[in-house]
Amino acid sequence: MHLKTLTVRGFKSFASATTFDFEPGVTAVVGPNGSGKSNVVDALAWVMGEQGAKSLRGGKMEDVIFAGTSGRAALGRAHVSLTIDNADGALPIEYSEVTISRTLFRSGGSEYAINGRSCRLLDIQELLSDSGLGREMHVIVGQGQLDRILQATPEDRRGFIEEASGILKHRRRKEKTLRKLESVQANLDRLEDLTGEIQRQLTPLGRQARTARKAQRIQYDVRDARARLLADDLVAARAGMDTDQGASAQARQRRDELEKSAAALAERL
């Protein structure tokens, strides 16, 4: 991974905007004691999300903002941006160059951005984590530590190399996965509780369902019986009507005959 440029403005001893262009390979920053060499490294750690003021050699995070000198007033904000060459696609983003930036205001607010678009710290951490960069991922070997590495036993050296080669990244992933597993386990436990509860409710529910089915069958039977009774009543009523109709026809015939004989008698009279 190649860090292309680093721009600092208002960060620690860098009051004016200062851009470092890093060529591929080894870069050395040379200067007298106290000239601000370590501040460049602090700026790198800071822009990649460092949250500990102590790791940045300060008491509180505000200490990273240019505090002023005899000839220059203090500034109200610190800004650092880092451009990473992403031609090899090491960072999971569709850009051949990625610029991450961080701004801190003396009033307390802070901003993060990826390629000029404001984002959350988490977005920067996630962007960098796959490449082994980011908070607690990359390894910055501080002053004096180089000596420790050179003098280290083979076991210690192995520890350093493991750390630098990104074992931490996998350890973090493992921790994250374990946390996820724990939450999945908690969900599973809850699910088991629910299944038990539902099963307990299922027994009376089954009984109720059987009773409901039986009640429905009885209702069908009652409806059929009523329909049959009604049909019988209908047949009987129709038969009665036919009989009544026969009787009234006979009565009408008899009346006609009587009227005829009455008419004949009247004529004779």
**Considering only 34-42, 103-111, 125-133, 256-264, which stretch makes contact with ligand ATP by CB under 6 A?**
34-42
Number of residues binding to ligand ATP, judged by CB under 6 A: 15
CB of 25 to ligand ATP, least distance (A): 22
Tell me which of 21, 51, 52, 63 binds ligand ATP, using CB under 6 A: 63
Query: Which stretch, 58-66, 96-104, 111-119, 254-262, contacts ligand ATP (CB under 6 A)?
Result: 58-66
Angle of CA points 41, 43, 45, to nearest 5°: 70
Nearer of residues 62 and 123 to ligand ATP, judged by Cβ: 62
**Exposure b/e, 81-111, CB count within 10 A at least 16 = b:** bbbbbbeeebbeeeeeebbbbbbbeeeeeee
User: Minimum Å distance from CB 1 to ligand ATP?
Assistant: 23
Minimum separation from the CB atom of position 142 to ligand ATP (A): 10
Question: Closest residue to ligand ATP, Cβ-based?
Answer: 38
User: Number of C-alpha atoms within 13 angstroms, CB side, residue 102?
Assistant: 24
Helices (H), the chain: 37-47, 121-129, 145-151, 154-164, 167-268
CA–CA dist 38, 42 (Å, integer) = 6
By CB under 6 A, is residue 36 in contact with ligand ATP? yes
18 lies in the binding site for ligand ATP (CB under 6 A): no
Binding-site member from 7, 39, 129, 131 for ligand ATP (CB under 6 A): 39
Least Å distance between CB 47 and ligand ATP?
A: 16
Q: What is the sign, positive or negative, of the torsion defined by CA atoms of 54, 37, 85, 115?
A: positive
Kindly state whether residue 24 participates in binding ligand ATP, applying the rule CB under 6 A.
no
113: burial class by Cβ within 10 Å (0-12, 13-18, 19+)? middle
CB of 8 to ligand ATP, least distance (A): 11
Return the number of the residue (37 or 172) whose C-beta is nearest ligand ATP.
37
How would you write 62-73 as a 3-class SS string?
HHHECCCECCEC
Q: Whose Cβ is closer to ligand ATP: residue 10's or residue 132's?
A: 10
Which residues partner with 19 through β-bridges? 7
- One of 24, 34, 71, 204 touching ligand ATP (CB under 6 A): 34
Nearest approach in angstroms of CB 77 to ligand ATP is 12
Strand-strand pairing, 18-21 and 117-119: unpaired
Give residues with Cβ within 8 angstroms of 125, minimum separation 6. Answer: 49, 134, 135
Tell me the closest approach of the beta carbon of residue 15 to ligand ATP, in angstroms.
7
Under the binding rule (CB under 6 A), the answer on residue 33 touching ligand ATP is yes
Task: Name 98's bridge partners.
Answer: 84
Query: Which residues contact ligand ATP (rule: CB under 6 A)?
Result: 12-13, 31, 33-39, 63, 65-67, 143
